[in-house]
Amino acid sequence: MIVDSKIEEQAKQTALQPGQNQEFDWKQCWYPVCFVQDLPNNRPYSFSLYDEPFVLYRDKDGQLVCLVDRCPHRAAKLSDGQITDGKIECLYHGWQFGSNGQCLHIPQLPTNAKIPTNACVQSFKVVERQGIVWMWAGEREVAVDECIPTIEELDKPEFVTTDVMRDLPYDQFYFIENVMDPAHVQISHTGTLGKREYAQPLEMEVVENSPQAVRGRLRGMSKPNQPWTQLEYIAPNFVIYQYSIPQRGVVGGLGLYSIPLGKGRCRILVRNYLGIKTWKIKLIPRWLDHMFRNKVLEEDMSLVIGQKAQIERLGQSLKQVYLPLKSCDTLVLEYRKWLDKFGSSLPYYQGYSTSKNIGSDDNSSNPMLLDRFSQHTQLCRSCTHAHQVTTRVKQTCVGVAIALAALAILTDAWIQVMAVSASLGAVALAVAATEFKTHFERPYTRH
């Protein structure tokens, strides 16, 4: 059940005033880069925003630094470099840069020579908030920390989260449309999040459509007076579902952050949160939870990839292609209409009847559109570690099996029987480890 007065109050606060600028400025906002726990230790971390490459690293004081990922000398990627004494060093010719992007050392210059003033890299403001790294895309002087779309409940100690990050091979607006569409859950996610027989008519209401947000609520109609769930899109990178069940003392939600990495690709940071500590959250390892969450994501990914291909092939507006239902597609349409009304500054977008710079992207001919290893495992420290351990277990078992087989050949009688049995056991373990390893590598497919 939601607190109705809360969203009405938020709607009043953010409602468009007469004369107010209708344009949403994509540079005047925060972008979620990654979960802090997935940042590598003492290594540069690369990411992109609308195809512009950036590099993150920690300086000597442990503060995060964000620079354009391009050396001013001859354009090598700084993220291919190394961190030396809190400075980032380009590994091509060894130029070193400080936290404001200024060049501090050029090995090829004589000791007393002055470093050229234009030997610098543009830097951007980054902060850590609620376990996420946030980047401000505009001038650092005008960055407003209060505008970070945090989840209020997570500042309370009783709330716990489970977090997963994944890169998707389509634009951010396909992801946001996907998660503004609760009607698909009982069908697409049958067996994981939903059940086909629970699919039902939905009642949806739009409370606000302003430059800052689309706010609404929804509930099932199969039974009377079902509790409302609050659904909000906070422009341009955040969707949140919030619910509370007072009878059971449960308050929780699902935060869905995303960053447009470039044309035809985005990164998502999915955060489930709950106001009670359950044994599940305490005991289930993060990598095990990610197996389930990746499966859920992949259930939709193959469908959205197909949807995107059809839309691009037709080359028409969504208004011409879609046949929306008035009830359960309300919030999807409201988001696409938000893009029509306020999204024209976004480097590319596809609204309901308008779009910008849309066409097939470089991904369209890529056969590896679903690749759990590169899209998740390599980005996630927990899954990378689990994958490495599994690989080592497999290699060790293979080595032990070979050694035991050799021992069996060289010995006789009861030692031979024991060596053969143990070797077969090691082979079985190696096979199990190989099978387990595929959970970090291969995507789920329905067929």
Which residues would be at the binding site for ligand FES (CB under 6 A)? 71, 73-74, 76, 90, 92-93, 95
Residues forming beta bridges with residue 37, ordered by sequence position:
none
The smaller minimum CB distance to ligand FES, of residues 120 and 393, is found at 120
**Least Å distance between CB 95 and ligand FES?**
4
**Least Å distance between CB 78 and ligand FES?**
8
**Least Å distance between CB 79 and ligand FES?**
12
Alpha-carbon distance 87 to 83, whole Å?
6
- CA distance readout (Å), 424 to 158, 249, 405, 428, 437: 49, 52, 9, 6, 20
**Least Å distance between CB 92 and ligand FES?**
4
Q: Please choose, from the candidates 137, 138, 171, 214, the residue with its C-alpha nearest in 3D space to the C-alpha of residue 356.
A: 171
382-409 burial, b at 16+ Cβ within 10 Å, e below that, comes to: bbbebbeebeebbeebbebbeebbebbe
**Least Å distance between CB 90 and ligand FES?**
3
**Least Å distance between CB 277 and ligand FES?**
48
**Least Å distance between CB 75 and ligand FES?**
6
- CA distance readout (Å), 298 to 166, 307, 376, 443: 10, 14, 11, 7
Residues forming beta bridges with residue 255, ordered by sequence position:
240, 271
The smaller minimum CB distance to ligand FES, of residues 71 and 218, is found at 71
Alpha-carbon distance 121 to 126, whole Å?
15
**Least Å distance between CB 56 and ligand FES?**
18
The smaller minimum CB distance to ligand FES, of residues 90 and 126, is found at 90
Q: What is the DSSP letter of 158?
A: T
Which tokens hold the place of 237?
A: 């990178």
**Least Å distance between CB 348 and ligand FES?**
30
Cβ-based neighbours of 55, under 8 Å, separated by 6 or more: 44, 45, 46, 66, 67, 68, 69, 77, 78, 79, 88
The C-alpha angle 219, 353, 321, rounded to 5 degrees, equals: 75
The smaller minimum CB distance to ligand FES, of residues 72 and 253, is found at 72
Q: Are 130 and 19 within 8 A, CB to CB?
A: no
**Least Å distance between CB 132 and ligand FES?**
30
The smaller minimum CB distance to ligand FES, of residues 50 and 92, is found at 92
Q: Torsions phi, psi of 278, nearest 5?
A: -105, 160
Q: Are 166 and 55 within 8 A, CB to CB?
A: no
3-state secondary structure 316-368: CCHHHHCCCCCCCCHHHHHHHHHHHHHHHHCCCEECCCCEECCCCCHHHHCCC
Helix (H) or strand (E) holding 418: helix 413-437
Alpha-carbon distance 42 to 379, whole Å?
15
The smaller minimum CB distance to ligand FES, of residues 18 and 110, is found at 110
Strands (E), 59-129: 64-68, 82-84, 87-89, 96-97, 103-105, 123-124, 126-129
**Least Å distance between CB 24 and ligand FES?**
36
